[in-house]
Amino acid sequence: MMTLDGIRKAYGARTVLDSVSLSLAPGRVVALVGPNGSGKTTLIKLLLGLARPDAGRLLLDGVPCDAEGAYRARIGYAPQAPRYPEHLAVGEVVAMLRALRPGAAVDESLIDDFGLRGEWATPVGTLSGGWRQKVAIACAFLFLPDLLILDEPTAGLDPIASGLLKSHLRAARAAGRTILISSHILVELEELADDVAFLCAGRLRFAGPVDALLRETGTRRLEPAVAALLRGLRIA
């Protein structure tokens, strides 16, 4: 679905991503993991068209993603710290997004499941962090995107909302959509992830199925497997 081919990105003298090649396949949940400063945020910005690579290519279904960014209509994104005009009510935020894509098919099931109708007239500036997170996630799902990118999606959610999100993610995967989740909460990821992309110091150190990572590290769970990779890199 989405492919990064030899991506390099630098800010001044600092190389943030170095020769990163990664394929995000349909019907798979990919866990994007790595220590702070590993390049995860920059990789997400590149996928979203918010930054351009210095070298390499981004391809969607084999077609290069151009600078005009029309491909972004096929992406849904929920940031770690969502920001909206604080005077707008929840319903106005959703209406604004729908107005930007007139005629597009929508899925409002997460709006209903999260109980956002009850906050429809509430200005987003008065919402707690958890409720803002619900708004961002529901909006990410809104236009039935082919690629979902979620950055620390469960960090501000209560257990019920977290369970609802996981259910919707499983349904999206079953429908053949591609899902990329960046998170430090590896216990949450191992419930969902099919594949792992492990970045460290701007380089992709592992990319493949979770089962392959567990075999390679001789572990049974994702968290100790990633820790083993990191320890090995530090030893090296």
- The order of strands in the sheet holding 55-60 is 14-24, 2-11, 55-60, 63-64
Is 64 among the domain residues?
yes
Structural domain count, the chain: 1
Ramachandran angles phi, psi of 171, nearest 5°: -65, -40
3-class DSSP assignment, residue 186:
helix
Evaluated on CA atoms 156, 48, 145, 95, the torsion sign reads: positive
pTM of this structure: 0.93
Range of the domain at 139: 2-208
Query: What is the spatial distance between Cα 91 and Cα 94, in angstroms, rounded to a whole number?
Result: 5
List pLDDT tens digits, range 108-117: 999 999 999 9
Per-residue pLDDT at 64: 80
pLDDT at position 172, please? 96
Asked, for residue 48, whether it belongs to a domain, the answer is yes
Residue whose entry in the numeric block shows the structure tokens 């960014």: 69
pLDDT at 63 (0 to 100): 79
The CATH number of the domain where 23 resides is what? 3.40.50.300
Phi/psi zone of residue 103: left (φ > 0), alpha (ψ -120 to 50 degrees), beta?
A: left
Whether 220 maps to a domain, the answer reads no
Residues of the chain with pLDDT under 50: 235-236
pLDDT score of 233: 64
Distance in angstroms (rounded) separating the CA atoms of residues 94 and 88: 10
